[in-house]
Structure formats: structure tokens, C-alpha cells
Amino acid sequence: MDYEALGLMVGLEIHQQLRTHKLFCSCPSELTDEVGKEFVRRLRPTQSELGEVDRAALQEARKRLTFRYQSANTCLVEADEEPPHEVNEEALRTVLTVAKMTDASVVREIHFMRKMVIDGSNTTGFQRTGLIALDGHIDVNGRRIRIPTFCLEEDSARPVEGGRKGEKVYRLDRLGIPLIEIATAPDIRSPEEAKVAAKTIGSILRATKKVKRGLGTIRQDLNISIRGGARIEIKGVQELDLIPLYVENEVKRQLRLTEVAEELKKRNAGVEREIYDLTGLFEASESKIIRNALKKGGKVLAIRLPGFAGLLGVKEGESERRLGPEFAQYAAVVGVKGIFHSDELPAYGVTEEEVENVKKALKIGEMDAFVLVAEKEGTARDALDMVLMRAEMAFKGVPEETRDAKGEGKTKYSRPLPGKARMYPETDVPPIYIDDEMMDSIEVPELREEKVERFVKQYGISRQDAEQIVDTEKDDIFEALCEYGMPKVAVRALLQILPEVGDVDEKGLRDAFKALKDGRFSKEGLEQVLSNMAKGMTIDEAIEKAGLGMMSEYEAMEIARALVSERMDFVKDRGQGAMGPLMGPFMAQVRGKLDGKKASAILRKAIEEVL
Amino acid sequence: MDNDASTGDRVEIRTEKGVYSGILMPKHAFSREGIVLIKLDSGYNITIPEDEILEMKIVERIGKRKGITGKAPRGIGPKIALINTGGTIASYVDYRTGAVHPAMSSEELLFSVLELSGIADVEADVLFSVLSENIKPKHWSRMAEKAAEALNSGKEGVIIAHGTDTMGYSAAALSFALSNLNGPVVFVGSQRSSDRPSSDATMNLLSAAQVAVSNLGEVAVVMHASTSDDYCHVHRGNRVRKMHTSRRDAFVSPNSRPIGKAWPEGVELYDHRKKSDGDVEVRPDFSDKVALVYAYPGMSEDILDSILSRSDGIVIAGTGLGHVKESLIGTLKSHIKDGKTVVMTSQCLYGTVNMNVYSTGRDLIKAGVVPGGDMLPETAYVKLSWALANLDGGIAEFMRRNIAGEMEEARYL
């Protein structure tokens, strides 16, 4: 596809969890399998300072849900039973670091805001978020991608399974984990560029060493539009490598919908607001879905869509359905699992005869379509209202929406794009003034590539080793150990020995390297020493226990002499040629206690003595 | 720089770094001097130092928020009065201090909780708008008069929306000032301000309305029973106390069971006084020459003496079963001789005082200290304030007697 011709514009919104305690209390930022005490709450939308109620908030309120919260690993702050504490400074400094790395300008005074979210994922009904810096940028393959905003915010509670009917369950362990939110301008022009930009931002974030690693700790939202389409926000893309696929699929969806809109206008199609009760036509239906709905006292309701025929299902020669899934996803908002539409019937147990009856009852012409819902009457009406609303939008092409990433590049409608009125000041958190002194104290860390490059040059280690050191965040300890002048030994200790024998802290590693440098044991004995230290021994105990105290030259000479006298005939016979064969048995007795070079010098001397 | 811009105007600010457009916001109380706060279209507030501003243009005058206009819908069912006194059940954000302040009109309150109209025909009124920490005895008098007036003019019940800090004191005060209650007087508040989606105000208020249309003939406090939004406890107004700084279920009756439970759809009352026939009697006066004194190890005769010299009576929140240290007994005794009343309660809050068990207790009794039974210290303070303003004598006897359910003979496991 020619994305430039299509006018593709993509913006990224990256949310990355920080590896500090929570943003507004001192609870650990760690997930737990425990449930803890449970409690139940409801939320209501409220007026914001400008007197407008958020439309996304209203849609959530319509669902009238009760929320059950599991509180293990959290305190009263997450439960909304205590005001937030002062902002976590370590988290704030991390955002300031990222801002500095991307040439952004930090706002002088940070004001945290309440962003209305009443789907229950925040016990307060809002997410606390602060704008920390403005107008930074990154460069991607020579193109500048602007980053207008850098925010610090609370992560939401984690949805979990369970709960009674009508309840949504959340665990509070994730609520309040600091998130850095980086939003780029819609400067990205291709699916691949979106991925590279996300990778670049990821690498900047990781350079701070304050970010969490692993699945679920970073989340990408994509803002995608094409010319003639609309801005669509896709939330919760987990895998970097799938970003291009999500972009491609959304472009295709927008193209399909734009084409449908043109076709609708050409056909002079319309939407009729009337909802028909067709229950009578389905009393003997074989369709399981319909039978179940009727058994529960439900009804079969229908709407007619003049001029929509063929625009709901798959277009010939293509694989994706057109308006059908859009309608179904809107209906799902009020809790209806599925709808039937004329482009896919007869199917799902609905017979041809029944379809004909419906067509007759609704006076469906050749170019007309219909949609059926079998549910309790109230729910069915709500669902068809949603479908009608979506059908009206179809004339405009692509409606602005928030969609959820469903994996494998697929998305699903979740709600309208939130309006502007969704924020008001968080007055419980005092504003934070960022002075020059604070900004000066922020150090800009090296990016991964720069650091790898430097390690290769400065310490003479391989690129592969350097990358592994940096990627596993062992770079600081590596450089500390390099002070003892043995970079390759440090690499071996960090990448090979420690993963085998267990962890030794920085002080322990420094002790071991100092002892090694002082000649208290040899390189060959390092694994044994570190293994002992991993079990909790001090350096002295570890050397002692390993029996690795360095041997004196005198002792080594004695061993060499004994060996030579045992094999006197062989030595006399081969002269210095006996060196090679004798080295093995000699090393067996002195390994780890004597440097290899020194050992061979001593053995040579012992042989010379008898020649 | 255009200094004519006022809060709410859309402005465009030009600095060397760029141009920022948004709505001019009031500053936070803790904001630095010389800073301009604007709300960007993204919803975020940003600050710009005044000295970096090259130009500020007013793009559009938006003016002040209109608030809610129009009349609240008429409810169905019994007529009740909703008396607003301030506090977080009816509040909004004050940008001057950045704190939550009581200022929303009762009309706005009715609009924000439309379900109220399904329970009762509510007539709302703002009596005053005072943070509950600023409530004084004279405010109790006004509340008592207003509640009596409402009940005697045909209202089935009264809800008083009150800040939570001193709600227990006010409820206790009305329980003494009002007698022969012909309808419920229900105090209600919220621990999370009503400007938040998670506010407890809605459930508390709807539950209070359910109590207000019940046959209760007492002053009650209706607040969350637990941290969950499931039901409220109905507490006797003079047995209840705020026991937590921030939790929804902060209100507890230490020495007695709540007198009922209520939720937005209903109410269930246990042991309670039913409403009487006839008119409510109101005796609204309170003395403000009463002190509530917490006993502590370092308390000196001087301090106690100076408090007693300036009051007509004091209530002591004593240690344990009702003690102060022995060295203070002489000071108490001499003031009691001069006609001052000293009532003993316990800072344990749970349990009754018993001044017969230890010698200090016995000495305090001999000195003329009145044991306050299992009355809460705050309730005893309010009761004494009322007694000193309304009785000619027999204060000690009055303090010992159960008047409005404020003390009981037995406490249960």
C-alpha cells in the first residue's frame, strides 16, 4: 500500500511502568496472587470544573456496574480511603530524565489532574496524571518525530475474573504503579516507522534503569488516521512486533468504511429509527440463540436499514466483513453477545423461510438490510439503538473511536473518544515546583547503542558480550569490576559464573576481584570462590573453603621435583620434551593455587635441574 | 501582557519556547508567585512563569461557569426538609486554596442526586455554609430551631447535611435541644467530597432520606457502615463519634449497637424511639462556657486551674475508668465548691467510667466530680453546655440521668 498517498498519520502513546514504589503511597509496585480483603463500590460521573460531563464517562455510567475490589498488597490510598501522599520523587526524576534525553522543556510547576475514568479501574473514579514536560523529539531513521507531552500518571487496577452477577472485579495491586506516558505527534508515516519509533522510545526509557521489564509493563496505544478517515485510538498493544500489523489492519478497515459510506450515499440509503417486534415469527425457531432468549421471556426485535444490502457482510473478493462487526461491537456495549443481519442469513439455525418472513414483515426490498436481536426486551432495544446510532455514523465513513487491541492485529470497538472535559485539578496533591537546581541534578544516561560501542572500545570485550551486559542491566557492576583491570574476567563472572552459581552482591564481587588482583587466588579458582560466596561466605571463607590459598613457589617446586623424580627415566630420555606430558599431572595438583604461566616456568626449572 | 484576562477566558500565550493556548485557570494556594496557570485543550494544566510571557491575548471571553439553573424536580411521597450547613456532602473544588469547600447550593445538590426525588418531596434550604471545624454552639441553636420549624410546619422528617468533623457534636446537641420529636432529624455527611465519582455522599444522602421518611423519633447520624457502598448504619445522634480521619466508615457508636441500617432503597430500624404526636419542643440555648479537657500525664494544677477559672463547668476525658492524677484533685475540689460542675468520662471511649474501683476514683467522687457513665466525652460536653444554659439547678443530677438515650445501664459483648 502507498501509505503516503493514503495520508497515513500515526501517533504513539506509550505507557511504561516504573520500577519504584507507588506514585502516591509507599506500597510496593508489585503484583500479587493474593486476593486480600474485598469491598464493593459504585461510581457516578460528576461535573468537571467547566460544567461539562465527559461523554465516555456517561457511557460507562449507563452500564450501572458494581465494582468489587481485592486489596492484598495495598493500603488505604489505593482503596480511596485516604488522601494521596506526596508524589514519588524517584518516579518524577525518571520522567525528568526522559524529558532531558529528548530535549523537552519541563513545566515549571507540575499540577496533577484527575482524569475521569469511571469503568471502575480506579477506585477514585479518576486517574491522577501530571503533565511534566512539553515539546521533545526523537529521530527515527533521520526523520524527526515530535513528542508534545510527557506525563506521569497512576496505573489502573487490574481486572480479574470472578465476581457476582453485574459486578466487575479488580485487584488493586496494579493501581498506583507509576506510569510514564509519552505521546508522539501524528508524525509517523508508515506501519514500520511506528514500530521503530516505539523501539526508540523504549530504548530511551530503559536507559533510565527505572523501568519495569516484562509482559504487561509497557503498553502502546496507537492513534491512526488516513485522509478521509478519522482518528482511531487503539488501546493496549502489547507486542512491538505487531504494531505494523495493527496499523495495516486499521488502514484497511478505514478504507472499507469509507467505501461503504460512498456506496450508501450513492444508493441514497437511510436509517429508520423504528424498532419492530418480530417475536411472533420465531416462536417455533430452531435457532438455539433465539430459543434460549425466548425461553427467558425475551423478544426478537428488528430494524430495517434501507439501502444497506450487501454492505454488512464480506465484499466479494475480500476476507473481512464490513459493517456487520461494527454493529455487533456497538451492540456489545449494552451486553448483547450477538446480532443477526441479513447479509449473513440464513445461518445460525435461522431458516430461509424465517428470513423470508422477516423480509415480508419489514418490507425488505432488494437493496435493503435488516438486523435482528434476540434478548430481553429492554436490552434488545438498547442494542438496536446502538446499532441504529452506528448505522447513522456509517454515512460519514469512519467514526472517531477508542478500540481495544485484541491480539494478532485485531481490534474491537470499546467507546467513543473521550472528550476534552475529562480532567480537573487533583487538589489533594500540592503543585511541585521544578527549579534549575533540580534539573541540573538530573543526569542524562547513555543510550544502549552508545554504551555497547564504548564497552567494546574501552574494555576490548566482544560486541555480543557488551550487548548482553547492557541488556541485562549489569553495566554498572561491570564497570565497577573493570576498575580491577580484568574486563574479560568480569564478563565471565557476570554472564557465565553468576547465572550458574547464584547471586553475589556488588560488595562481594568487588572483594573477589580485589583478592584476585592481589594474587590471593588465580583466575581458574574464580568460579569456586564465587560459588562459595553465593552461599553466603565472606571472601576469606570462600578462598579458604575452596582450598585455593595461593601456593608458594617453594611448595610448587617441591611438587614439581617429586613429579620429575617419579618419572626420572622418562625425563632423562625426553629432556625438555617431557614438559608437555608432565604439565597435565602437575596442573592437577596446583590448579587454582598457582598461575598457569608460573606453573610452567617452575616445571621447566625442575626438569632442567635433573638434566 | 494583557492583564485584563480573567479566570475562564480562553487565552493565547506567546513565549520564546512557543505559543500556548488554553483556558486561564485560578492558581493553587501553594503555587509560586509570578506564575500563570492555563488548562490546555488536552485537559492538562500547565504553568508559565510570567517573566517568560512575551504576549498574552484573550481569544475568547468565556466568563464564569453558569452552574445549574432551573428548578429541581418535585419529588413524590412524604415532604421532608433538607437543611444544608456546609461540609463535603455538598461541595465543590475551590481553586483559591485548591481544597474542597462547601458552596454548592441545595438546589445543585438535588440536581446531582436526582434519585432523592423518588424517595421524598424534598425542600432544600441553605441554613449556613460553614466548615464543620468552624461550627459553634450558636450554630447548634440555629439548626435546632430550623429543624423544629420544619417538623412543626408539616415536614415528615429533616435531613441536615453537615461536615463530618463535628457532626457528632451537632447531632448530640440537637438530641438535647429537641424533645417530643414528631419526626426524624437525620444528620448526614460524606468522607469523599461529592465532586468525585467515588463519593460516598450519594449513598449516604439517599439512605438518610430513607431514614427521614421512617417513623423514627430521634436525632440520628447516617453514614457508611463499611468501606463498601452497600448500606449505612443509623446511629443514635448522641452515641456516635468520628473514629477515623478519612475512611467512609469513620462513624462508630462505641458503646451501643447502631439503631438501624439504611440503604438507597430502604431502611430497617432496631430498638428506637418512635415519633410522637404533637409538636416538637425546642430549647435551643447552649452555654459556651464549658470546656472539654483531655487528661494526660504532664497536666499541671496551673493549667487545670486556669481552665476551670474561665468556665462554668468542664468535662474531663479521664484515663481508664475515669481518673486524673491525684495531685489535681485539690484543684477540682476547690472549683466544685465554688459551684463549677466537673463531669468525668473516659478517653478509652469504649466502656463506662466506674469511680468506685480505685482510690483515685473514690477521692474524685468525694471531691464532687460527677461520673458520666458510658457517655462519650463529646456528648457529655454538649449535654453540660445545654444544662448550664437551660437549668436553674440540679445540674449534677441531670448529668447522671439518661435524657435522650445518650447513656445506658448495660453494655454487651
Q: Is B412 an interface residue toward A (CB < 8 Å)? A: no
Q: Please check whether residue B203 lies inside any domain of the structure.
A: yes
Distance (Å) from the alpha carbon of A51 to chain B's nearest alpha carbon: 7
Bridge partners (DSSP) listed for residue A372: A302, A340
pLDDT, one tens digit per residue, over B87-123 is 566 555 543 333 444 545 556 666 667 778 889 988 8
Contacts of B389 (CB under 8 A, 6+ apart): B285, B286, B287
CATH code linked to domain A266-398: 3.30.1360.30
Residue A427 confidence (pLDDT) = 84
Distance (Å) from the alpha carbon of B45 to chain A's nearest alpha carbon: 6
Contacts of A526 (CB under 8 A, 6+ apart): A489, A492, A493, A497, A512, A516
Q: What letter does residue B274 receive in the DSSP assignment?
A: B
pLDDT at B2 over 50: no
pLDDT, one tens digit per residue, over A535-554 is 988 888 888 777 766 677 78
Residue B33 confidence (pLDDT) = 82
Residues B235 and B102 in one domain: yes
Distance of CA A232 to the CA centre of its chain: 20
The band of B353, judged by pLDDT with boundaries at 50, 70 and 90, is very high
Q: Rounded CA gap, A9 and A188, in Å?
A: 6
Mean pLDDT check: name the lowest of A592-596, B39-43, B270-274.
A592-596
Residue B70 confidence (pLDDT) = 52
Residue A51 confidence (pLDDT) = 44
Q: Please tell me whether the peptide bond between A83 and the residue prior to it is cis, using omega within 30 degrees of 0.
A: no
Q: Rounded CA gap, B283 and A224, in Å?
A: 70
Residue A460 confidence (pLDDT) = 92
Asked if B295 contacts B316 with a C-beta cutoff of 8 angstroms, the reply is: yes
Mean pLDDT score, B255-267? 96
Question: In whole numbers, what is the pLDDT of chain B averaged over residues?
Answer: 89
How large is the C-alpha radius of gyration of chain B?
Answer: 25
Q: What is the dihedral of CA B352, B358, B360, B362, to 10 degrees?
A: 80
Sign of CA dihedral B71, B77, B81, B83: negative
Residues B320 and B350 in one domain: yes
Which residue among B35, B49, B228 sits closest to A40, beta carbon to beta carbon?
A: B228
Residues B269 and B318 in one domain: no
Contacts of B227 in chain A (CB under 8 A): 39, 79, 81
Q: Rounded CA gap, A312 and A328, in Å?
A: 10
Asked if A212 contacts A122 with a C-beta cutoff of 8 angstroms, the reply is: no
Listing from the earlier edge strand, what are the strands of the sheet with B35-40? B45-49, B35-40, B19-25, B10-15, B53-60
**How far apart, in Å, do the first and last CA atoms of chain A sit?**
84
Residue B92 confidence (pLDDT) = 53
Residues B272 and B297 in one domain: no
Q: Rounded CA gap, A595 and A577, in Å?
A: 22
Q: Rounded CA gap, A549 and A542, in Å?
A: 10
Contacts of A113 in chain B (CB under 8 A): 43-45
Across the A:B interface, residue pairs with CB atoms under 8 Å apart total 128
Residues B278 and B379 in one domain: no
Q: Please check whether residue B49 lies inside any domain of the structure.
A: yes
Q: Which residue of B has its CA nearest to A150?
A: B44
| Residue position matching grid coordinates 416462536 | A283
B165 included as an active-site residue: yes
B242 included as an active-site residue: yes
- Cell numbers for A158, please give them: 487490574
Asked if A160 contacts A103 with a C-beta cutoff of 8 angstroms, the reply is: no
Residue A544 confidence (pLDDT) = 79
Residue B66 confidence (pLDDT) = 47
Catalytic residue among B85, B88, B331, B341: B88
Q: Rounded CA gap, A39 and B198, in Å?
A: 13
- Cell numbers for A402, please give them: 477508542
Residue A61 confidence (pLDDT) = 57
The CATH number covering residue B347 comes to: 3.40.50.40
Q: Rounded CA gap, A98 and A447, in Å?
A: 11
Q: Is B95 an interface residue toward A (CB < 8 Å)? A: yes
Q: What is the ipTM of this complex?
A: 0.89
Residue B411 confidence (pLDDT) = 92
| Residue position matching grid coordinates 505559543 | B19
Residue A494 confidence (pLDDT) = 93
Residue B43 confidence (pLDDT) = 77
Residues B122 and B240 in one domain: yes
Residue type, B204: N
Residue B106 confidence (pLDDT) = 57
Q: Is B91 an interface residue toward A (CB < 8 Å)? A: no
Mean pLDDT score, B348-372? 96
Residue numbers in chain A where pLDDT is lower than 50: 48-52
Residue A348 dihedral angles phi and psi, to the nearest 5°? 50, 35
Q: Do B246 and A82 touch (CB under 8 A)?
A: yes
The whole domain housing B367 covers 290-400
Q: 3-state DSSP call for residue B50?
A: helix
Residue B118 confidence (pLDDT) = 84
The band of B71, judged by pLDDT with boundaries at 50, 70 and 90, is low
Mean pLDDT score, B171-189? 97
Distance (Å) from the alpha carbon of B66 to chain A's nearest alpha carbon: 8
pLDDT at B335 over 50: yes
Q: Rounded CA gap, B216 and B178, in Å?
A: 14
pLDDT, one tens digit per residue, over B130-139 is 889 999 999 9
Residue A118 confidence (pLDDT) = 81
Residue A122 dihedral angles phi and psi, to the nearest 5°? -125, 130
Of B256, B282, B308, the domain-final residue: B282
| Residue position matching grid coordinates 468525668 | B344
The residues spanned by each domain of chain A are 3-231, 266-398, 448-545, 553-610
Q: Is the entire prediction scored with pTM above 0.90?
A: no
Q: Residue A390 burial (CB < 10 Å; 0-12/13-18/19+)? A: buried
Contacts of A129 in chain B (CB under 8 A): 44
Residue type, A327: F
Q: Please check whether residue B66 lies inside any domain of the structure.
A: no
pLDDT at B245 over 90: yes
**How far apart, in Å, do the first and last CA atoms of chain B sit?**
71
Residue B392 confidence (pLDDT) = 93
- Cell numbers for A227, please give them: 485522509
Question: Which residues 38-57 of B have a C-beta within 8 angstroms of A?
Answer: 39-49
Neighbours of A71 (CB within 10 A): 24
Residue B193 confidence (pLDDT) = 83
Count of domains for chain B? 3
Residues B41 and B174 in one domain: no
Q: Most B CBs within 10 Å: which of A74, A80, A113, as the mutation test of the B interface?
A: A80
Residues B323 and B370 in one domain: yes
pLDDT, one tens digit per residue, over B10-25 is 889 998 888 888 888 8
